[in-house]
Amino acid sequence: MFAPGHLGELTQFIPFEMVDEILAATRRTQQRIRLLPARVVVYLVLAGCLFAELGYGQVWRKLTAGLAGLDLAEPSSGTLREARQRLGSAPLRALFDLLRGPAVTTANHAVRWRGLLVAAIDGTTMSVADAEAVRARYRKQRGNHGGAGYPALRLSVLLTCGTRSIIDAVFGPISTGELDQAHTLARSLRAGMLLLADRNYAAADLITTLAATKADLLIRCKNGRRLPVITRYRDGSWLSTIGTLRVRVIDAQITIRTSDGTRTSGYRLITTLLDPHTHPAGELIKLYHRRWEIETAYLEIKSSILGGRVLRARTPDGIDQEIYALLTVYQALRTAMTDATDSQPATNPDRASFTTALHTARDQITNATGVIADTVIDLVGAIGRAVLAHLLPDRRIRVKTRMIKRSNSKYQARGPNVDRHSYKATIAIDIITNHCETPAGP
């Protein structure tokens, strides 16, 4: 009865013992051995995220396809639904809490800048089922033509740049704004981290909350924001205050040249890194571009894994269960990818193909291979070997986030879809030094 409870090679990152301990801690272990033990249901929910286009009955057949010769259960769709409802969301939340955090890597050049762990924060929306029970918690977004077709939730993530592993995540109705969720995510910021964020996060009270965690900040703000000039530095940046917090302001003109032409725009960044000698303005401007990595992570979750589909669950607790399972699977894939690139010194984790890892993980589930580690420890595995065999080119400059067309929509997404490997771009930075008459400081 326990045989279908696996996740292929990813089981080595989410082993049986871990799941059993979480079930015991959340009091979800079955009182008697059922047709579908609780441990099996956990893996069923996780596998469902890897096969988002399939119903749970078909996911079950994927889990059992490589288990020929065993007397396996053949549960109905109703039995699978009842088993997921019995399990609830608590075990999946506990599993995500256990796995989340920066992936361990020796590629410090990819995840750190001048000793600081580089992280990014941002939010996105996801469509959920248009069911009566769901609408009681998640409402539809307003639109220009009468509103969206599906209710939506807001997901905010704190992400490690480089490995793109999730440090923390929070989600809820879209009535809860990104700034409110950012206040919650501040619980996972620590000294030694550098947080990148866009203009939406430049609110004074939020900056105060984030800075209180002792993490350093690099946040873009509106160009027209009036900030007092206390001292000008020779690199063009200047000292200012937001509330009672001292910040350094960097004004720059960024010119991007691509095959589509040349575009110049002004950027204003604020940072809590006040020393222009140890943290030069030019390097900070270039570093800020890495904020785009969180947009790519959302692409991997919403497009690569889900294929732009609406979440399956038709109850609020079912949505909680599915979101935590989705984040857990993403984290496991990212860990496997980081382990693979770490096996080749000086390989940037950003070159690992998420699509390759995802499809290989699916194959391992169908074949039921790599479930239990061999006596000879293989830190790379089938997923890692596939990733290393199909490494992406070095990262190129992104000028616009990818726009995704939902699979169930007949309308194209607005805006150009610029792929990072389909064009060449150069970037020039000119730090503005004549912002005011104040004499230059150190």
What's the pLDDT at 412? Answer: 47
Percent of the chain with pLDDT over 70: 87
pLDDT, tens only, 209-234: 999 999 999 999 999 899 999 999 99
Percent of the chain with pLDDT over 90: 76
* Residue 163 clears pLDDT 50, i.e. is over it: yes
* Residue 411 clears pLDDT 50, i.e. is over it: no
172: CB partners within 8 A, 6+ apart: 153, 154, 181
* Residue 349 clears pLDDT 60, i.e. is over it: yes
What's the pLDDT at 406? Answer: 52
Residue 239 backbone dihedrals phi, psi, to 5 degrees = -85, 135
pLDDT, tens only, 129-150: 999 999 999 998 876 655 568 9
Compute the distance between CA of residue 174 and CA of residue 89 in angstroms, rounded to an integer. 20
pTM above 0.75, yes or no: yes
Task: Check: CB of residue 172 under 8 Å from CB of residue 126.
Answer: no
What's the pLDDT at 222? Answer: 93
Q: Kind and range of the H or E element at 110?
A: helix 108-111
pLDDT, tens only, 297-342: 999 999 999 999 999 999 999 999 999 999 999 999 999 999 999 9
What's the pLDDT at 259? Answer: 79
More confident of the two residues 421 and 303: 303
The mean pLDDT of 394-398, rounded to a whole number, is 65
* Residue 76 clears pLDDT 70, i.e. is over it: yes
For the chain, the average pLDDT equals 89
What's the pLDDT at 146? Answer: 56
Tokens linked to 112: 């750190």
Domains and CATH numbers, the chain: 8-98+344-389 (no CATH), 100-297 (3.90.350.10)
Compute the distance between CA of residue 153 and CA of residue 229 in angstroms, rounded to an integer. 40
Tokens linked to 372: 């239990």
Question: In a 3-state reduction of DSSP, which class is residue 161?
Answer: coil
∠ Cα 115 120 125 (to 5°):
170
> Which of 178-192, 213-227, 264-278, 405-419 comes out lowest in average pLDDT?
405-419
The mean pLDDT of 44-57, rounded to a whole number, is 96
pLDDT, tens only, 350-387: 999 999 999 999 999 999 988 876 545 566 899 999 99
Q: What secondary structure letter does DSSP report for 391?
A: P
* Residue 436 clears pLDDT 60, i.e. is over it: no
What's the pLDDT at 256? Answer: 81
Q: How many CB atoms lie within 10 A of CB 89?
A: 22
What's the pLDDT at 31? Answer: 83
Q: Tokens 């996740």 belong to which residue?
A: 7
**Confidence class of residue 13 from pLDDT cuts 50, 70 and 90?**
very high
Single-letter residue type at 222: K
What's the pLDDT at 326? Answer: 98
User: Nearest-CA neighbor of 318 among 122, 100, 80, 154?
Assistant: 80
* Residue 414 clears pLDDT 70, i.e. is over it: no
Instruction: State the greatest distance between any 2 C-alpha atoms of the chain, in Å, as a whole number.
Output: 82
Tokens linked to 437: 């008459």
What's the pLDDT at 434? Answer: 44
**Confidence class of residue 23 from pLDDT cuts 50, 70 and 90?**
very high
Single-letter residue type at 349: P
